[in-house]
């Protein structure tokens, strides 16, 4: 039998199980303990009732919560876009066109360079409490470069997304239909074995609703499940298409009509909000309050990429969501943990309940509220992933 460890002296424990805790969505337990057996959570409850275990760790009055589930990132890339960021901060607006700069740098990079970059950003995210991440291709846009990106990503996570439909690359500028045929044909054949998900950037300057439907439907027929970049820069068909195709998540959701919100509220598609993108593009914030009040499940993620959101920090996104998107601290913490798990259709992460993976983090703070209350402060002191203490 694998050895068991109890973490005791936890001031506030976030379980994300209402029934295990105080009945709230976060399922809070004060003066709590968690027992880990192997890579799983075996028990959570009040410290005084903790069962005997082989090992004991004193949390020193910290807060413990599930590790963050970052369900949207673009981490296989080379180069950076400092100049574009500088131009934006001098008044230029963000467009999909900047993606081409990263496509050129990524195509020119070696496998080793891409791998080193990915490893570096993953380590950065892990230090800040991310224990599960999804990541995408989308900066290769040739059969070989997309398949290579997915292969590199798949060595680090199960949550790999084929985003051959990020933009129409310059080499196909005169014939976008031929690019859609490639994405749904030869490129899909090469990429499907390495991915769980298929994604499309459905936006003016990228792919329209009909193209997005064709691409996601082709992916579904190959066993990939859809997710979509939708309604980021303008109103459009992406969100309703996501619900129609039972996409796990519609991501960005910045420009929504009432019909879009109704569709999300009546479907099983999670709305993933990515405040790092609005921060870094000086764009209007998505209205999380409107979505939550309508009963939509909301996830919060980083969108970490060199163009629109170059942050790997979920705590930063929580602080933005609370300050500028109408979320309470409790809602934002739920969305960055259980919400991210829902956006990946996972029930074995994002919660600290018996049987879930022992992915948990400790904060040097008396409660989870400090993640928003103390913005920019590195509160994450300890990370366990699959039951193993990191660092």
Q: What's the token pair of residue 292?
A: 């939550």
Residue among 152, 163, 167 at smallest CA distance from 224: 163
Q: Which is nearer to Fe ion, 17 or 281 (CB)?
A: 281
Contacts with Fe ion: how many residues (CB under 5 A)? 1
Contact status, residue 12 vs residue 368, Cβ threshold 8 Å: yes
The mark string for 298-337 relative to Fe ion (x by CB under 5 A, - otherwise) is -----x----------------------------------
Closest by alpha carbon to 242, among 217, 277, 205?
Answer: 217
Q: Which residues sit at the interface with ligand NIG, rule CB under 6 A?
A: 74, 98-99, 102, 201, 229, 232, 277, 303, 305-309
Whether the Cβ atoms of residue 254 and residue 281 lie closer than 8 Å to each other: no
Residue 225, annotated as binding a ligand: no
Pick between residue 99 and residue 336 the one whose CB is nearest to ligand NIG.
99
Instruction: State yes or no: 232 annotated in a binding site.
Output: yes
Closest distance between ligand NIG and the C-beta of residue 101, in Å? 8
For Fe ion, give the closer residue by CB, 303 or 330: 303
Q: Say how far apart CA 152 and CA 240 lie, in whole Å.
A: 32
Smallest distance from Fe ion to CB 303, Å: 4
Residue among 278 and 330 whose Cβ is closer to ligand NIG: 278
Strand partners, 40: 37, 357
The least distance separating ligand NIG from the CB of residue 206, rounded to whole angstroms, comes to 7
Q: Does 278 bind Fe ion (CB under 5 A)?
A: no
139 carries a ligand binding annotation: yes
Which residues in the chain belong to E strands, given as ranges?
4-14, 28-37, 40-46, 55-66, 68-70, 130-133, 135-136, 160-165, 197-202, 225-226, 228-230, 249-252, 270-273, 298-300, 360-363, 380-385, 388-389
Query: Which residues of this protein are in contact with Fe ion, per CB under 5 A?
Result: 303
Binding residues: 72, 74, 81, 139, 166, 229, 232, 303, 305, 307-308
């Amino acid at each position: 039998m694998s050895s068991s460890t109890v973490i005791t002296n936890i001031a506030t424990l976030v379980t994300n199980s209402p029934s295990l805790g105080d009945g709230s969505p976060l399922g809070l337990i004060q003066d709590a303990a968690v027992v880990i057996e192997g890579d799983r959570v075996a028990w959570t409850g009040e410290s005084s009732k903790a069962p005997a275990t082989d090992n004991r760790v004193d949390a020193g009055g910290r807060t413990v919560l599930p590790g963050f589930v970052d369900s949207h990132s673009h981490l296989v890339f080379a180069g950076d876009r400092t100049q574009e960021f500088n131009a934006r901060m001098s008044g230029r607006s963000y467009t999909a066109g900047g993606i081409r700069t990263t496509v050129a740098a990524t195509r020119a990079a070696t496998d080793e360079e891409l791998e080193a970059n990915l490893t570096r950003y993953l380590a950065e995210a892990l230090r800040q409490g991310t224990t599960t991440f999804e990541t995408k291709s989308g900066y290769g846009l040739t059969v070989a470069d997309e398949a290579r990106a997915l292969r590199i990503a798949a060595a680090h996570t199960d949550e790999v997304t084929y985003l051959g439909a990020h933009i129409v690359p310059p080499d196909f500028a005169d014939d976008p239909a031929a690019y859609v045929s490639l994405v749904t044909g030869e490129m899909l054949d090469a990429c499907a074995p390495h991915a769980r998900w298929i994604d499309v950037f459905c936006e003016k300057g990228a792919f329209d609703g009909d193209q997005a439907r064709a691409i996601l439907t082709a992916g579904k027929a190959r066993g990939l499940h859809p997710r979509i970049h939708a309604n980021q820069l303008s109103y459009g068909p992406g969100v309703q298409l996501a619900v129609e195709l039972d996409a796990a998540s519609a991501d960005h959701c910045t420009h929504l009509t009432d019909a879009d919100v109704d569709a999300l509220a009546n479907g099983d598609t999670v709305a993933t909000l990515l405040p790092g993108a609005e921060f870094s593009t000086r764009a209007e914030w998505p209205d999380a309050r409107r979505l939550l009040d309508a009963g939509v499940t909301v996830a919060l993620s980083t969108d970490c990429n060199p163009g629109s959101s170059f942050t790997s920090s979920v705590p930063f996104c929580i602080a933005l969501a609370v300050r500028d998107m109408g979320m309470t601290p409790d809602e934002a913490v739920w969305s960055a943990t259980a919400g991210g798990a829902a956006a990946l259709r996972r029930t074995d992460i994002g919660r600290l309940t018996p049987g879930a993976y022992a992915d948990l983090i400790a904060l040097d703070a008396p409660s989870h509220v400090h993640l928003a209350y103390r913005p920019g402060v590195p509160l994450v002191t300890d990370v366990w992933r699959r039951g193993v203490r990191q660092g």
